[in-house]
Amino acid sequence: MSSPAPVREADARHSVRSALTSPRLLRTEVLAGLVVAIALIPEAIAFSIIAGVDPRVGLFSSFIMAVVIAFTGGRPAMITAATGAIALVIAPVAREHGLDYLLATVILGGIFQVTLALLGVARLMRFIPRSVMVGFVNSLAILIFLAQVPHMVDVPWLVYPMIAGGLAIMVALPKVTKVVPAPLVALVVLTIVTVAFALTVPDVGDEGELPDSLPYLLVPNVPLTLETLQIIAPYALGLALVGLMESLMTAKLVDDITDTHSDKSREGRGQGIANIASGFFGGMGGCAMIGQTMINVKASGARTRISTFLAGVFLLVLVVGMGDLVAIIPMAALVAVMIVVSVATFDWHSIHPSTLRRMPKSETFVMVSTVAVVVATHNLAIGVVVGVIVAMVMFARRVAHFTQVVRVEQSDPGVRVYKVEGELFFASSNDLVYQFDYADDPDTVVIDMSESHIWDASTVAALDAIETKYAAKGKTVDIQGLNEASLDRHRRLAGHLGAGH
């Protein structure tokens, strides 16, 4: 399978120029941005409540970050805004120290992200296995759906047929035409129905008060002391790590959907710059949003930075200039949109019986572990870390079984030859010391390592222990056949590790 073509900055600029000169492509980008902006409003308000701040803090953060990341990010069409994961990280700061300390935390978190990106943390993405990625995608889909459940419980009965109607529109309309994004049509139709028939159902206005003024530049009013740094630094580092992990994972997902490869290092720097800007404009910070990104890329077909930029611009226009109109959009319409996104995001092939039969049980266990931890903690970063650790343990366990020690028949009765086969590291070399007959072997023992490789100090320590055991019985060991890398490691470490007896 060929690897996706890389998205170079020149290619990204060409895509933007193509969209600007093509009415069809421009319409797609504009309408996608509008749909995303509408979907951002209730979530930004909800995340503000989680963080313990005024709704305007989350809304302004979403506006600033979407606009900034459109210029600084490395993944075109990905949406960055205020998120629940970041809200959970910084909520204690707002609760215990106030808004100014929260803004300072966001700014410092952005600085950490830029630093980590410059140090090359994005390259660590290559160590995330496919099974963890599938678990990440499936858990995201589940979380997106679970986030809609509160809007479907203890609500007027009219909400349910409205949700069903929205789902029907989004399933049927793409089969007829794709000129206008189906989610936008569903939002408009259900809003018109609500107003025309004066239906009493929950709407966006019920989620919180919308701001009526523009964001402005400010400097957090906190003392520039070591004590302040001690308060905000742990939360800022948490924000940086969670934000980078979610953003880079989401970028990789969009890479797969669009069959392109984005600049992860630039995306990391862009996330940091966006968070710094958010903090200086009174925002609560954020990271890439999987739900809104899927609306933008999958449901609406956007592919360029234009949609991301316009999502931020439309968001500000809607909440400040058209707040009264936005407030009457029924929540049932947004719930329907997010349910479709949830279903489209889930990797249904991964749980098909035929797939589960073919897939190694260890791979399935890694995927299920990732999903279970994410759903239990509502924290994507924790789930991914646990998934990677489980995958590493499973891999080490599997590879360890491929190592063996074979006794080679020799014509010389005074020499015993053993051949070690396989990859030698901590998991496979721990039992190496028990594979030799120290009591009955002759005075000269040869260990042929030509079909093995030494990967770590644990293996060198095991070889030292073997030599020590033979030496205790007056016998000599000759280790032969080491490749260049293994020989270099053995020469540097042998005799300096305090091998046990």
**Following DSSP, what letter does each residue of 378-442 receive, concatenated?**
T-HHHHHHHHHHHHHHHHHHHHHTT-EEEEEP-S-TTEEEEEEEEEESHHHHTTGGGSS-TTTS-
Residue 499 has a pLDDT of: 46
- Residues 42 and 207 sit within 8 Å (Cβ to Cβ): yes
**Cα separation of 99 and 94, whole Å?**
5
Per-residue pLDDT of 58-114, as tens digits, reads 999 999 999 999 999 999 999 999 988 788 788 889 989 999 999 999 999 999 999
- Burial of residue 6, with CB atoms counted within 10 A of its CB: 0-12 exposed, 13-18 middle, 19 or more buried: exposed
d(CA 220, CA 311): 27
Position 383 scores a pLDDT of: 85
Question: Poorest-confidence range of 55-69, 234-248, 469-483?
Answer: 234-248
Report the alpha-carbon distance of residue 133 to residue 21 in Å, rounded.
Answer: 36
Is 293 in contact with 262 (CB distance < 8 Å)? no
pLDDT of residue 192: 95
pLDDT tops 80 at residue 1: no
pLDDT tens digits for range 402-441: 788 999 988 888 999 999 998 898 888 878 889 999 999 9
Give residue-wise pLDDT tens across range 140-152. Answer: 788 878 888 988 9
Helix (H) or strand (E) holding 454: strand 444-454
What's the CA gap between 84 and 445, in Å, rounded?
62
> CA 236, CA 109: separation in Å to the nearest integer?
4
Q: Can you tell me the distance from the alpha carbon of 55 to that of 49, in angstroms, rounded to the nearest whole number?
A: 7
CA 2 and chain centroid, separation: 23
Q: What gap in Å lies between CA 493 and CA 476, rounded to an integer?
A: 19
Bridge partners (DSSP) of residue 420 are 405
